[in-house]
Amino acid sequence: MRMNLSIAIVAMVNRGTEQKHASNLTGNCPFPNNTDTISENNQVVGEFQWDERMQGLLLGAYFYGNIATNMIGGRVAEYTGGKRVLGVSVLLSSVFALLSPVAARFSTNLFVTVRLLTGLAQGFAMPAVTRCLVVWIPSLERSKFNTVVFSGAELGIVLTLSTGGWLCGLTFLGGWPLVFYIFGGLGILWCLLWFLLHTEKPENHPRISTREKEYILEHCKVKRGKFSFCIVRRYGDNQKWRQHSSLCDDIWTTKTSWKIN
């Protein structure tokens, strides 16, 4: 869902709008005279008159929403379950992907809103994946399975980029809407399989052996910590202020955390 628009926007935008906008700017190299003489059989003419600023807003709307929910996604998954959070996250983002072509043609503002909502929904996905790994994968094997699972996300991006351009070049349904329809439909199909086959906790799984279940439960002891934000309290009569929060002390006040982020 993240890469859909990055591919489709190439076929969605009428490039004549960009050339006209660029010609009004000083200090830019002019477009060659033959840029608009490409064979019409090989050129995809976009239907939207979006300038660079609007394109940047559309592409960035996803990430604005994503960063807003990414930081709380882990806590939500911890309290409500990784299965439910991940499934709903992918389901909502898939539905928004299916609605994207209609929203884009109806209103640009509506399309920006849909992209923002897609980012908000997707922001819960990766923290929920981490929660599922903590519950199901023993600590000694977790690094290996983390590599496998998160490599799947990167492989999905490669496949999306590889097939998305080809879909945009088709004439069926206008080409570029297929990027949203196909990947949105695959997302909904994945959600059906996810809710049918995945179990929230190992002790409730109906198909694993008793020995495997005992091994997982023994090596996956999950504790739910107390949720707290950074707070400031006043201590004593000397009017000194101190931060009193394990979350704040362990994460927000460490230089290493800020460098990583």
Mind listing the pLDDT tens digit for each residue in 27-50? 555 545 544 433 445 555 678 888
Per-residue exposure over 208-230, b if at least 16 CB sit within 10 Å of its own CB, e if not = eeeeeeeebeeebeeeeeeeeee
pLDDT score for 190? 92
Taking the CA atoms of 59, 171, 95 and 127 in sequence, report the sign of the dihedral they define. negative
The DSSP-derived string for 188-202 is HHHHHHHHHH--SSG
pLDDT score for 48? 82
Mind listing the pLDDT tens digit for each residue in 215-255? 777 777 665 555 444 444 444 444 444 444 444 555 556 65
**Homologous superfamily of domain range 4-219:** MFS general substrate transporter like domains (1.20.1250.20)
Domain layout of the chain by residue ranges: 4-219, 228-261
**pTM score, two decimals?**
0.71
d(CA 183, CA 99): 12
d(CA 60, CA 153): 20
Mind listing the pLDDT tens digit for each residue in 63-98? 988 888 888 888 888 888 888 899 999 999 999 999
pLDDT at 24 over 70: no
**Lowest-confidence segment of 179-188, 203-212, 227-236 by average pLDDT:** 227-236
DSSP lists the bridge partners of residue 48 as 13
Number of neighbours of residue 101 by Cβ within 10 angstroms = 21
Our measurement of the distance from residue 44's CA atom to the centroid of its chain's CA atoms, rounded to an integer in Å, reads 28
d(CA 203, CA 123): 28
pLDDT score for 176? 87
Mind listing the pLDDT tens digit for each residue in 109-119? 999 999 999 99
pLDDT score for 4? 80
